[in-house]
Amino acid sequence: MVEELDPFKISQEQLDKAAGIMKLDKEAHMILREPMRTLTVNIPVKMRDGKTQMFKGFRVQYNTARGPGKGGIRYHPKETIETVKALSAWMTWKCSLANIPYGGAKGGVICDTKTMNDMELENLSRGYIRALKDFIGPKIDIPAPDVYTNAQTMAWMMDEYSNIVGHNEFGVITGKPLEIGGSEGRFDSTAMGGMYVLREAAKLKKINLSKARIAIQGFGNAGNFAFDLSKKLFGSKIVAISDSEGGIYSEKGLDYEKLKEAKQKTGSVDGYKGAEKITNKELLELDVDVLIPSAIENQITQNNADKVNTKILLELANGPVTPAADEILFNNDVLDLPDFLVNSGGVIVSYFEWVQNLQSFYWTEEDVYRRLDTIITKSFNDVIKTQKEYKSNGRSISPRMAAYIIAVGRVAAAMKIRGWY
């Protein structure tokens, strides 16, 4: 049997399973299976040769019962509406689980940033905002960076929206540079939140993180910071790392500065000297204490889940584990902590940035990390508590199902109170 890898169908399957366990009202379940609004736009962009090229973009607002939409914008040559819909659903559950006053949204544009210069990227970013101007705003839907977008992209977008409304509107976008309303602690917030979850998980599994062996799949923003922070905060040994070109392994542990240098010089972690070359597939099957997938979705499936050999699986990427794999990992006593808990640090600190923008009152990095720790640690404890309260087919449920039950329950309650069903 071939496993379903369509990300939106996977998100629906996960919701359906949680709805069955929690006996969710049928009308609420029906509403929550589909996004409230799906927008497709065509963006004309003047290119460096003076010609105009058309780009297709998307914005999905999944559910806004608990607050304005919130979610990143991805620039990717293989972007699809199905991926954007799935990510907007997961953003809905992520914001609800963290108990911050947002709904879920997501955006994307089909483009290859590696072939575009800054002028073209700026023209595209401003064009995307002009196309969405009636559908976003600080009290409607607040975008943020995601795959192949960054603080500079957000600066162009915020500026374009401000030009449209006729005044500075810093709160329309998060993930901005500090100079124009960005927040301290935003750029490593996804990984930092993941580290707070890892700390709590290690207590639960009785693992000494100072002696732990960690493998990280992906050396983008999240994986890079996860490598650095796990060494700085816990003194852990990172024995393996990979990127899209391949991976490396060293039982003695890898050096962060040497790794960054190798990546900069050669374009891949593969250029690191003194380590064994391995594939991404081999990295996922290493015997380690902690495995951190921080790359792309559908990396652990029914085909390789039985070979995963770790005590804690920390999902820093979005959707790295499929539903079939989730079941296998749970049966094998792997503590698989779901993405919309583990990587919620990014949206939590985006929320902090938005609050600071609305108040024009800015916090220190220490304030940001302290508040992030409080929120995400409570989310972790809520998940473990809920896991013990529910049973499915006479046995405990997985952390993912526990997280879904909390998140879906909160959104359904908000819809019920508002009279949506």
Q: Please, is 121 exposed, middle or buried when counting C-beta atoms within 10 Å of its C-beta (0-12, 13-18, 19+)?
A: buried
* Whole-angstrom distance, CA of residue 98 vs CA of residue 407: 8
Q: C-alpha angle with apex 272: 270 to 276, nearest 5 degrees?
A: 70
Question: What pLDDT, on a 0 to 100 scale, did the predictor assign at position 274?
Answer: 83
Question: What pLDDT, on a 0 to 100 scale, did the predictor assign at position 346?
Answer: 93
Q: Is the dihedral of CA 191, 370, 405, 12 positive or negative?
A: negative
Residue 264 scores a pLDDT above 90: no
- Going by pLDDT thresholds of 50, 70 and 90, the confidence category of residue 391 is confident
User: Percent of the chain having pLDDT more than 70?
Assistant: 99
Domains of the chain by residue range: 35-170, 189-342
Residue 367 scores a pLDDT above 90: yes
Residue 187 in tokens:
């750029």
Question: What pLDDT, on a 0 to 100 scale, did the predictor assign at position 298?
Answer: 78
At 308-321, the pLDDT tens digits run 999 999 999 888 99
- The average pLDDT across 118-132 equals 98
In CATH, what class is 35-170? alpha beta
- Going by pLDDT thresholds of 50, 70 and 90, the confidence category of residue 186 is confident
Question: What pLDDT, on a 0 to 100 scale, did the predictor assign at position 140?
Answer: 97
Choice between 7 and 48, residue whose per-residue pLDDT is larger: 48
- The average pLDDT across 130-159 equals 96
Closest CA to 253 of 282, 277, 225, 231: 231
At 26-62, the pLDDT tens digits run 999 999 999 999 999 999 999 999 999 999 999 999 9
Choice between 141 and 295, residue whose per-residue pLDDT is larger: 141
Q: Are strands 395-396 and 391-392 parallel, antiparallel or unpaired?
A: antiparallel
- Options 3.40.50.720, 3.20.10.10, 3.40.50.2300, 1.10.10.10; CATH for 189-342 is 3.40.50.720
Looking at every residue in the chain, the average pLDDT score rounds to: 93
Question: What pLDDT, on a 0 to 100 scale, did the predictor assign at position 122?
Answer: 98
Distance of CA 53 to the CA centre of its chain: 30
Residue 296 scores a pLDDT above 80: no
Residue 1 scores a pLDDT above 60: no
Residue 24 in tokens:
């969710």
- Going by pLDDT thresholds of 50, 70 and 90, the confidence category of residue 220 is confident
Kindly state the greatest CA–CA separation across the chain. Answer: 66
The catalytic residue among 17, 106, 237, 263 is 106
* Whole-angstrom distance, CA of residue 297 vs CA of residue 110: 18
Query: Residue 166 to residues 162, 173, 409, 417: CA-CA distances in angstroms?
Result: 6, 16, 40, 36
Active site residue 78: no
Q: Please, is 220 exposed, middle or buried when counting C-beta atoms within 10 Å of its C-beta (0-12, 13-18, 19+)?
A: middle
- The average pLDDT across 364-375 equals 97
Question: What pLDDT, on a 0 to 100 scale, did the predictor assign at position 3?
Answer: 66
Contact 329, 285 (CB under 8 A): no
Contact 94, 18 (CB under 8 A): no
Query: Residue 347 to residues 188, 206, 219, 327, 332: CA-CA distances in angstroms?
Result: 12, 29, 20, 27, 31
* Whole-angstrom distance, CA of residue 101 vs CA of residue 92: 10
- Going by pLDDT thresholds of 50, 70 and 90, the confidence category of residue 323 is confident
Residue 192 in tokens:
């930092």
User: Percent of the chain having pLDDT more than 90?
Assistant: 80
Q: For the chain, what is the HEC assignment?
A: CCCCCCHHHHHHHHHHHHHHHHCCCHHHHHHHCCCCEEEEEEEEEECCCCCEEEEEEEEEEEECCCCCEEEEEEEECCCCHHHHHHHHHHHHHHHHHHCCCCCEEEEEEECCHHHCCHHHHHHHHHHHHHHHCCCCECCCEEEEECCCCCHHHHHHHHHHHHHHHCCCCHHHCCCCCHHHCCCCCCCCHHHHHHHHHHHHHHHHHCCCHHHCEEEEECCCHHHHHHHHHHHHHHCCEEEEEEECCEEEECCCCCCHHHHHHHHHHHCCHHHCCCCEEECHHHHHCCEEEEEEECCCCCCECCCCHHHCEEEEEECCCCCCECHHHHHHHHHCCCEEECHHHHCCHHHHHHHHHHHHHHHCCCCCHHHHHHHHHHHHHHHHHHHHHHHHHCEECCEECCHHHHHHHHHHHHHHHHHHHHCCC
- Going by pLDDT thresholds of 50, 70 and 90, the confidence category of residue 147 is confident
- The average pLDDT across 342-368 equals 96
Question: What pLDDT, on a 0 to 100 scale, did the predictor assign at position 4?
Answer: 64
